[in-house]
Amino acid sequence: AEHQLSLAVLAETMQRAREVGLLTIVCADSDAECRAIATMAPDIMICEPANNIATDQMAAGDYVERTTRIVKQVDPGILVIQGAGVTTGADVARALRLGADGSGGTSGIVRHPDWRGILTEMLTAIKQHTTPDEGG
């Protein structure tokens, strides 16, 4: 959101990254941006409403589901991170439950008075989501 590139410049930048062996991680805000950028096949997309960045307000559930679906319909191989407003382990769990491959959390971690504790909470949510239930 702070340093937006035109789609043409983004395409050139992604091509150069591939040439030198770098993974590409690209942020998108709207459904249209998610679709357009997904056609460029980045390795990872971070879908996040710009107005939620660095807030305590995670994107609405329909946004998370819809933008993840849009990206996966274009290219199922793209990993989708849902970011913006992720401040708790419950937010991380929600993003994963709604179909994302991962979640953001940078502001939620660095602004938290107990950043180690909140990071542990977020990582625990990931582990609980990805660990098969031992009971059955």
Distance CA 46, CA 89 (A): 18
Whether the predicted model's global pTM rises above the 0.75 cut: yes
Ordered by where they begin, the domains of the chain are 7-130 (3.20.20.70)
pLDDT tens for each residue of 106-119? 888 999 999 999 99
Distance CA 132, CA 70 (A): 27
| pLDDT for residue 136 | 47
| pLDDT for residue 130 | 83
Where the chain has pLDDT below 70, the residues are 1-2, 52, 55, 132-136
